[in-house]
């Protein structure tokens, strides 16, 4: 007869460990070693960018911080991913499976004057600087010679065209009104042909085949100092250097007028005129492509920081028809002024108010027979486009 006694799990485990102590120790050490190496996280490929006001943070796919760079970023950069996209980019330039990092630096200045504009900086995946580019073109208008100090306010996008990886960005004059959308060779950081000069700042934009002709275009929003209006414009990506039409006093000299696919002006509202501001502005980070509604969207803003008021502007993909949405703060402020006799009727929460706003929208119309010369266009209302 065999007497089988049931032993407790702890006792059985203890006997197993004593009998196989060498294997158990090896298994424990191996587990600790693997855990240590996993915690180290050797992945050095940047896949995520975040920023605060003064620092760019570069992280890998696991969220591990790889390195940082100093810079000056917009105030809302921490809360708005679209602003991050407009100030820094990731792209594998040389097809080695590692992403390079592009970002803009701050404007260099002394307490007395600005002595150098901001740069676009390209770094390797390890954070080593590969190249820098400072926009320093000199142009003039009828009213003034424009100094060559520019800040890079917007990195539009990176695309592959003409067998080159290119970066499109926007530079704004630090001391005056000019701005330029230009492009660089991502491999070398050298300037490539093709610049659009504007008589006012471009706030945001995107690269997309806007009119479905198989070619990508640049669609941008900003302001024009000559017309003193918000503007929306679209142009071909090409190698020409041209000028967006403006008033005679503000037009950039020395280049042909661009034949824009779309050029639209949005006039000031009665509330803007009441505030005495020169022109409306566009809220940074508000512009986006709403593919669910087939509309491009952005938000106008007043210049009174204590009483921010906004209109949401939605333009159809046909780049002709608009929706205008009055936000609550704008309605309260404007309607209060109407009630006190400081602004004329109608109240803002009416179809009549929106129709009046849309009736002032102007479209730049150029005859198709002009080819690439858009200087002889004219401003028309919506009903004149058909």
Structure tokens at 92: 């594998």
Calpha distance 273→228 (Å, rounded) = 12
Q: How far is CA 166 from CA 151, 188, 243, in A?
A: 19, 10, 21
221-230 pLDDT, tens digit each: 999 999 999 9
Higher pLDDT, 249 or 277: 249
If you average pLDDT over every residue of the chain, what do you get?
87
Q: How far is CA 161 from CA 95, 101, 169, 183, in A?
A: 16, 20, 15, 11
262-299 pLDDT, tens digit each: 999 999 999 999 989 899 999 988 999 999 999 999 99
Residue 235, classed as helix, strand or coil, is: strand
Cβ contacts of 65 within 8 Å, gap of 6 or more: 57, 58, 59
- Per-residue pLDDT at 218: 96
Report the predicted TM-score, pTM, of the whole model to 2 decimal places: 0.86
H-helix segments, the chain: 9-19, 21-40, 81-87, 270-275, 328-339, 351-359
């Amino acid at each position: 007869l065999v007497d089988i006694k049931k032993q407790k799990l702890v006792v059985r485990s203890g006997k197993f460990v004593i009998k196989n102590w060498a294997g158990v120790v090896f298994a424990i050490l191996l587990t600790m070693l693997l855990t240590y190496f996993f915690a180290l996280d050797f992945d050095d490929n940047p896949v995520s960018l975040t920023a605060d006001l003064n620092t760019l943070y570069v992280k890998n796919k696991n969220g591990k911080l790889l390195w940082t760079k100093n810079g000056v970023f917009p105030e809302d950069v921490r809360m708005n991913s679209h602003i991050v996209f407009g100030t820094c980019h990731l792209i594998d330039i040389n097809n080695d499976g590692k992403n390079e990092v592009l970002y803009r630096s701050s404007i260099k200045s002394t307490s007395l004057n600005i002595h150098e504009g901001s740069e676009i900086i390209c770094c390797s995946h390890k954070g080593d600087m590969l190249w820098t580019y400072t926009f320093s073109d000199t142009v003039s208008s009828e009213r003034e010679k424009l100094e060559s100090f520019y800040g890079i306010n917007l990195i539009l996008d990176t695309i592959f065209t003409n067998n080159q990886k290119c970066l499109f960005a926007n530079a704004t004059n630090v001391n005056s009104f000019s701005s330029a959308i230009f492009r660089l060779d991502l491999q070398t950081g050298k300037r490539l042909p093709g610049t659009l000069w504007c008589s006012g700042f471009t706030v945001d934009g995107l690269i997309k085949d806007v009119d479905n002709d198989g070619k990508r275009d640049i669609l941008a929003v900003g302001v024009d100092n000559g017309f003193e209006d918000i503007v929306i414009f679209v142009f071909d990506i090409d190698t020409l250097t041209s000028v967006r039409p403006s008033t005679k006093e503000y037009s950039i000299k020395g280049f042909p007028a661009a034949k824009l696919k779309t050029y639209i002006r949005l006039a000031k509202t009665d509330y803007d005129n009441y505030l005495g501001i020169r022109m409306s502005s566009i809220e940074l980070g508000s512009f986006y492509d709403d593919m669910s509604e087939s509309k491009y969207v952005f938000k106008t803003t007043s210049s009174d920081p204590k009483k921010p008021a906004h209109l949401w502007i939605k333009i159809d993909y046909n780049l002709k028809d608009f929706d205008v949405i009055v936000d609550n703060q704008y309605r309260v402020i404007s309607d209060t002024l109407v009630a006190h006799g400081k602004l004329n009727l109608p109240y803002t929460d009416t179809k009549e108010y929106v129709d009046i706003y849309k009736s002032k929208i102007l479209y730049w119309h150029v005859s198709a027979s002009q080819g690439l010369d858009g200087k002889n266009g004219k401003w028309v209302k919506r009903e004149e486009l058909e």
